[in-house]
Amino acid sequence: MESKWFTRKEFACKCGKCDFDVVDAELLKVLERLREDFGKPVIITSACRCKEHNVKIGGASKSKHLLGKAADVRVKDVDPHDVYEYLCVNYSDKYGIGNANSFTHIDVRDYAARWKY
């Protein structure tokens, strides 16, 4: 993984027991563009998840987090709804994009899916 804005550690599973920190290259490109276009830090609140951690936090059984293809993020000083709208406009025909009060979900699935938490 090579990135101007992110480290592999930011993507690592937060279980504290595994070493799962695989980062999908396409996801990384989306997050780097998000960082550059907003000109503000992107905070990754959840990315890679091992199966046990995903179950513990109530994640979907087929979550893209399990594959290193998803991230829940916040852009510093930007409303998550504005981040959601940005992603929907810039990636209108692909990806999974979810809108929550405190974060925005992005995953690099092969088709477009949208939801609110």
Q: What residue type is 23 in one-letter code?
A: V
Please return the burial class of 2, using the count of CB atoms within 10 Å of its CB with bins 0-12, 13-18 and 19+.
exposed
CATH architecture of the domain covering 8-116 = 2-Layer Sandwich (3.30)
Q: Residue 2: pLDDT above 90?
A: no
Task: Report the pLDDT averaged over residues 69-81.
Answer: 98
Query: What is the per-residue pLDDT for 38?
Result: 98
For 16-49, write each residue's pLDDT tens digit: 999 999 999 999 999 999 999 999 999 999 999 9
How is the chain split into domains, by residue range?
8-116
Q: Which residues does residue 43 pair with via DSSP β-bridges, in sequence order?
A: 74
pLDDT at 117 over 90: no
Across residues 52-78, what is the average pLDDT? 97
